[in-house]
């Protein structure tokens, strides 16, 4: 059991924050001061800048510095939160979790996969992919299956063969016997977390052949 080392890419490092913060502050101050000095050097001696305007522009410089400081603190807070989240997720490795496996997360490229369970033999299994508004975008006939866990993979295409945009979709199932009798199905998945993947830029729990989002986990056995 191991955690994908790519979790280091999930958040910027402290050194990157410091460099970014220094660059932003330097550019902000220098650009402002150069503009102010140029304005003073090129002002009309017969109509110089009055004190009120000077104070206004200096207060704007102070605002720029304060905003740069706020940006740095927010970025540092983001790094701290990401680090704590990664640590908490890593603690789930080896734990038994139960989750709803019906949601499908589609990225810019590649497919989306999940698993479901048939409680009896089905002669016909139909999978329907729905978008976040509940509209059916793809219907797939999966044929006959024996009872047990079935892995389902969606290529991201709709019924017209067009690639769907990245986002969250859901799987709806219908299974029946040769006589047309419904066969119960379940998208609830229970298993041991074998690892954590950050391949898509966010943590996914690896449970068997499925990758689960933390938001879809309904219980954790401690």
- Write the DSSP string, the chain: ----GGGGGGS--HHHHHHHHHHHHHHHHHHHHHHHHHHHHTS-TTSPPPHHHHHHHHHHHHHHHHHHHHHHHHHHHHHHHHHHHHHHHHTTTT-EEEEE--EEEE-SSS-EEEEEEESS-EEEEEEEEE-TT--EEEEEEEEEE-SEEEEEEE-SB-TTSPBPPSEEEEEEEEEE-TT--B--EE-EEEEE--EEE-TTSS-EEEETTEEEEGGGEEEEE-
The alpha carbon of 3 is separated from its chain's Cα centroid by a whole number of angstroms, namely 18
Entry pTM: 0.55
Q: Quick: pLDDT tens for 8-67.
A: 344 444 444 444 444 444 445 566 667 666 766 666 555 555 555 655 665 666 666 666
Q: Predicted confidence band at 97 (pLDDT cuts at 50, 70, 90)? A: confident
SS3 labels along 150-215:
EEEEECCECCCCCECCCEEEEEEEEEECCCCCECCEECEEEEECCEEECCCCCCEEEECCEEEEHH
Six-digit token pair at 195? Answer: 């690892």
Task: Enumerate the CATH 2.60.40.4070 domain ranges in the chain, comma separated.
Answer: 96-221
| Residue 175 burial class via C-beta count within 10 angstroms: exposed 0-12, middle 13-18, buried 19 and up | buried
Fold of 96-221: Immunoglobulin-like (2.60.40)
pLDDT in tens, 79-95: 545 444 556 677 788 88
pLDDT above 70: residue 171: yes
Per-residue confidence band for 135, with pLDDT thresholds at 50, 70 and 90: very high
Q: Residue 20: CB partners within 8 Å, gap ≥ 6?
A: 12, 75
**What does the pLDDT read at residue 133?**
92
Long-range contacts of 67-70 (CB under 8 A, 24+ apart): 67/28, 68/21, 68/24, 68/25, 68/28, 69/25
Q: Which residue has the higher pLDDT, 99 or 198?
A: 99
């Amino acid at each position: 059991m191991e955690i994908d080392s790519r979790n280091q890419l999930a958040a910027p490092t402290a050194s990157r924050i410091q460099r970014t913060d220094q660059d932003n502050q330097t550019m902000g101050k220098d650009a402002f001061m150069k503009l102010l000095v140029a304005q003073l050097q090129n002002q009309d001696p017969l109509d110089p800048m009055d004190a009120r305007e000077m104070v206004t522009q200096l207060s704007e410089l102070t605002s720029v510095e304060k905003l740069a400081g706020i940006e740095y603190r927010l970025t540092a807070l983001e790094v701290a939160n990401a680090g704590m989240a990664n640590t908490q997720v890593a603690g789930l490795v080896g734990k038994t979790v139960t989750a709803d496996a019906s949601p499908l997360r589609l990225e810019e490229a590649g497919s989306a996969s999940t698993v479901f369970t048939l409680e009896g033999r089905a002669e016909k299994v139909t999978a329907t992919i729905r978008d976040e508004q509940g509209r059916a975008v793809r219907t797939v006939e999966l044929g006959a299956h024996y009872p047990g866990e079935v892995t389902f993979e969606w290529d991201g295409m709709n019924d017209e063969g067009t690639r769907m945009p990245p986002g969250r979709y859901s799987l709806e199932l219908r299974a029946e016997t040769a006589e047309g009798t419904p066969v119960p199905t379940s998208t609830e998945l229970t298993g041991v977390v074998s690892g954590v993947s950050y391949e898509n830029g966010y943590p996914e729990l690896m449970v068997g052949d499925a990758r689960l989002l933390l938001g879809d986990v309904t219980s954790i056995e401690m």
